[in-house]
Amino acid sequence: MASLIKKGLMLGLGITSMTKEAIEKTVKELEKKGEINAKEGKKMVGDLLKKSKKQNEEIKKTIEEQVQKALKSLPIATKKDIDALSAKIDKISRKAKKNKK
């Protein structure tokens, strides 16, 4: 029964958007209604928090990958590009100073 309720909560509330407080509040309401006991409630809170954290990390990773992909397709200099140009400028500057003397 608790497993079924947990699945319903995850689908209905969108686990990634659930805060610890929202999860605890929802589980407490289920306990008050007698749909789950305190032990099941505590386990459910822990499980939902773990799943929420995992899904948030997966979303963050996906977003970072998509941003990197988008940046690669744009004509924007990367830090690596800028560092390489800076090194070339330094080299040319040193060479110019040597020749000036």
* DSSP one-letter string for 7-37: HHHHHHHTGGG--HHHHHHHHHHHHHHTSS-
Side-chain-facing half-sphere of 27: CA atoms under 13 Å: 25
What predicted TM-score, i.e. pTM, was given to this entire model?
Answer: 0.53
The residue extents of the domains of the chain are 2-74
**In this structure, what token pair is assigned to residue 28?**
């407490």
Residue 99: the pLDDT is 83
Q: What is the pLDDT at residue 18?
A: 67
Block mean pLDDT (10 aa), the chain, length 101 = 55 62 84 88 86 80 84 86 96 90 67
**What is the token pair recorded at 64?**
């970072």
